[in-house]
């Protein structure tokens, strides 16, 4: 039976970032059930490098987003991953929202994001000529990234360190043994077993399903999972957007905001809608809701040029309120060598390198 130090389940940004980091010290395999890496949440997001403004103080999201952002910019420069520190405006379209901006700035400071600045009316017009805003904050450390190239760079790093990425390989179950786990895998139809000392469950929207098949893990450590779809509409026309535009956040997300990709394509979203099953089908009928939300800050929107694009799904652990990343080690569930990552929603892409370092520390304890 083949033996590895660490087996990582899932080749999204999280599994790949952990693989790249752990492979500096260990023999690592990252497995992916699909034919290609990153086909789920890691390729169905806004590709924004978040500053770390909104998350509750001292939460894992706040800490890992702020440190992950710095690492991610450095990684992009070292590995030639396309990115642009484009900056974002957080805008208030009315006086109630303007008051919320004050709180947001204070909160950002609490999270060690000290670079937000107020824009004057003249600056708002210069930064975002057609945007309707009574007040705005500018976040200079917010950026955009090519997430596909980022994942490729992590695979390169993993393989340079003699780690392996194996696609079409599905984790079936794990049993405890004297030196770790005996894991059963379905490798493109062939069932095989492997011995690993550490087992890292980075299966994203499947993390709960994977956890249920790990022998000895009590069900009480497996949180509920709710699928929360976020859809995007793209704008097929010329525009004057130079920075990302975010209205003040709402309960389950950051509101229907405007982002740009590295080609300058303008898109709006994601919205938030709880759905019953893992289904990426889009719903054109949501267009009216998008138009209303966008026109609040961009009255000149030409609705004929707004088209449904794609959807991603957030792995929510609860139906209401803020949730944090849940990263469990033996100190939580008592199983040496097992790490479970649950609810890795936004800012998981931004935080991925910091999450990887955090997981390596947990394994070392
Ligand atoms: C709508 C939306 C917008 C977002 N926008 C941003 C953003 O702008 N900035 C940001 O920082 N974050 C953003 N995020 C969050 C970010 O995309 C996620 O945190 C991140 O992609 C999660 O990566 P992951 O590796 O945990 O999950 P995934 O990318 O889903 O990867 C998990 C992988 O595990 C594999 N897998 C599952 N089960 C098995 C099994 N049994 N065997 C083998 N493989 C298995 C899956 O096939 C999958 O490839 C957004 C998320 C959403 C939903």
Query: Can you list the domains of the chain with their CATH numbers?
Result: 2-47+148-224+322-364 (3.50.50.60), 88-140+226-316 (3.30.9.10)
Does 202 contact ligand 1 (Cβ within 6 A)? yes
pLDDT at position 148: 98
Kindly give the number of the ligand 1 atom that is closest to the alpha carbon of 40: 30
CB 49 within 8 A of CB 343: no
Q: Is the distance from the beta carbon of residue 356 to the nearest atom of ligand 1 less than 6 Å? A: no
For the Cβ of 33 lying below 6 angstroms from any atom of ligand 1, the answer is yes
What integer pLDDT is reported at residue 140 of this predicted model? 98
Q: Is the CB of 345 under 6 A from ligand 1?
A: yes
C-alpha 204 to ligand 1 mean position (Å): 5
Residue of 183, 348, 351 with the most ligand 1 atoms within 8 Å of its CB, for mutation = 348
Segments of the chain with pLDDT less than 50 = none
Q: Is 315 near ligand 1, meaning CB less than 6 Å away?
A: no
Helical H segments across 80-172, by residue range: 95-110, 121-127, 147-160
Tokens of 269: 């979203």
The pLDDT value given to residue 250: 72
Q: Which two tokens stand for residue 115?
A: 């670079």
Tell the residue nearest (CA) to atom 25 of ligand 1.
12
Ligand 1, atom 52: nearest CA belongs to which residue? 45
Residues 6+ apart with CB under 8 A from 143: 48, 49, 73, 83, 84, 85, 86, 87
Q: How far is the CA of 40 from the centre of ligand 1 (A)?
A: 6
pLDDT for 251: 62
């Amino acid at each position: 039976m083949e033996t590895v130090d660490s087996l990582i389940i899932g080749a999204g940004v999280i599994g790949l970032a952990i693989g790249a980091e752990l492979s500096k010290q260990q023999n690592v395999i990252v497995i992916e059930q699909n034919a290609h890496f990153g086909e789920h949440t890691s390729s169905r997001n806004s590709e924004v490098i978040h500053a770390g403004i909104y998350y509750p103080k001292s939460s894992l999201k706040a800490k890992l987003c702020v440190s992950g952002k710095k690492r991610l910019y450095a990684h992009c420069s070292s590995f030639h991953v396309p990115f642009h520190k484009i900056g974002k405006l957080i805008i208030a379209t009315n006086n109630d929202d303007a008051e919320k901006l004050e709180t947001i700035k204070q909160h950002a400071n609490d999270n060690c994001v000290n670079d937000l600045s107020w824009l004057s009316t003249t600056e708002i017009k210069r930064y975002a000529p057609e945007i309707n805003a009574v007040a705005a904050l500018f976040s200079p450390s917010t950026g955009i990234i090519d997430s596909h190239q980022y994942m490729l760079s992590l695979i390169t790093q993993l393989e340079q360190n003699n780690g392996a990425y194996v696609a079409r390989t599905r984790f079936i179950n794990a049993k405890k043994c004297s030196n770790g786990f005996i894991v059963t895998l379905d490798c493109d139809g062939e069932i095989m077993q492997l011995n690993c000392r550490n087992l890292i469950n980075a299966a994203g929207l499947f993390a709960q399903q994977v956890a249920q098949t790990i022998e000895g893990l009590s069900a009480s450590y497996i949180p509920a999972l709710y699928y929360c779809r976020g859809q995007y509409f793209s704008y097929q026309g010329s525009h004057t957007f130079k920075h990302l535009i975010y209205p003040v956040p709402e309960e389950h997300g950051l509101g229907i905001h405007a982002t740009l990709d590295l080609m300058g394509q303008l898109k709006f979203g994601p919205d938030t809608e709880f759905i019953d099953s893992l289904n990426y089908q889009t719903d054109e009928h949501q267009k009216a809701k998008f138009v209303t939300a966008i026109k609040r800050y961009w009255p000149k929107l030409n609705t004929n040029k707004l088209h449904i694009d794609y959807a991603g799904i957030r792995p929510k652990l609860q139906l209401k309120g803020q949730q944090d990343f849940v990263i469990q080690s033996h100190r939580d569930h008592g199983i040496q060598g097992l790490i479970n990552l649950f609810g890795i929603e936004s800012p998981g892409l931004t935080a991925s390198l910091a999450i990887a370092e955090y997981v390596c520390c947990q394994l070392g304890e």
